[in-house]
Amino acid sequence: MEAIISEQLQNHFEIATANRSRMYAVIAEIFRYPAADFRKQARNGDLEQALRRLTDNLPYPFEWSETEKKNLRAVARVPDEDLEVEFIRLFEAGPGQPPLPLLEGLFREDRQAIFKELILFYNHFGLSYAEGSMEDRPDHLCYQVEFLHFLVFKELKALQAGRDQGPYLRAQKDFLERHPLPWLDLLLAKVSQMEQKLPPPEEACLEVFHFYAALLSLTHRFLHAEGRYLGGCGI
C-alpha cells in the first residue's frame, strides 16, 4: 500500500493522478473481508501511513479529522477473530440485512435498473462482469471504486501518451454522481445513527466499529473531494 512513485511519472501532476488511482484501489482492498495481510497493516499502522502518503499527494488539499486519526489506530491490539467477526456483523450479516450494507441496491429504488446501468458502465470500458457472491454484485462498493481506479488509470495513461483525457474524466464525474456519491451519503447517515446507540462491549467489538467508521468517513470525503475536483476540470 504505497503511494505510486515511478520513473515513468514525469511530473507532480502525473504523480498526483497516479495517487488518485491508487487511493481508489486501496479503498477497494479496505472493504473486502480482512485477510491476514490487511489485519497486520491495520494493526501496525502501515494502512494509516499509506493512506496519509496518498492523501498528502493528491491534486487538491485533503485534511484528516482528529477523530479519523484516532479511530484508525483503534485496532492496534484487537485480535484477528474480533476484527473478522465485527467485519461480518457490520457489512455482511444481520437479520434481513447487515447494519452497514456496502451495496447500492439496498439504499436506492429499482435495484435491477441500477444493476443494468452499472454493467453497461463496466462493459462500455471493456470490463466484463459475471455475477457471483454478495461481494461480487455490480453495486458493491468494492466494484464501484475499482471501476473508478481503472478510469483514473486510463486517464493517467492518456495523459502520458499526450491523448485526450476528457472521456475518462467525464466518465468518472458521471459515474460518481450517478452511483457512489448518492448512496454513500445514506450509508454515512447510518454510521452516524449507530454511533448514537452503540451496543455494549460484550456484544460487539467497538474498536473495530470505530476503525471502519473512520475508513467510511475518509472514503466518503475522498469521493466528494473527487467530485468537486472533476467539477472544476472544465469537462
The CATH number given to whatever domain includes residue 224 is: 1.10.3480.10
For residue 75, is it within any domain? yes
Per-residue model confidence as pLDDT tens digits over 13-62: 999 999 999 999 999 999 999 999 999 999 999 999 999 999 999 999 99
Please check the confidence at residue 134 and state whether its pLDDT lies above 50. no
In a domain, 3, yes or no: no
User: Which residues partner with 68 through β-bridges?
Assistant: none
Instruction: Please name which of 147, 3, 6 lies closest in space to residue 62, comparing C-alpha atoms.
Output: 3
CB burial readout 147-175, b (16+ within 10 A) else e: bbbbbbbbbbebbeeeeebeebbebbbeb
Q: Is the separation of the CB atoms in 181 and 221 below 8 Å?
A: no
DSSP state of 135: G
When pLDDT is averaged across residues 112-116 and rounded to a whole number, the result is 92
Whole-number average pLDDT of the chain: 91
Residue 7 in domain: no
In a domain, 111, yes or no: yes
d(CA 207, CA 71): 8
User: Is residue 208 situated within a structural domain?
Assistant: yes
Whether 4 maps to a domain, the answer reads no
Q: Which domain holds residue 140?
A: 12-231
Residue 20 maps to a domain: yes
User: Residue 1 — very low, low, confident or very high, per pLDDT cuts 50/70/90?
Assistant: very low
> Which cell numbers hold the place of 234?
472544465
Task: For residue 5, tell me if it sits in a domain.
Answer: no
Candidates 141, 127, 120; CA nearest to 188 is 141
- How many whole angstroms separate alpha carbon 220 and alpha carbon 224? 6
Q: Is the entire prediction scored with pTM above 0.85?
A: yes
Give the count of domains, the chain. 1
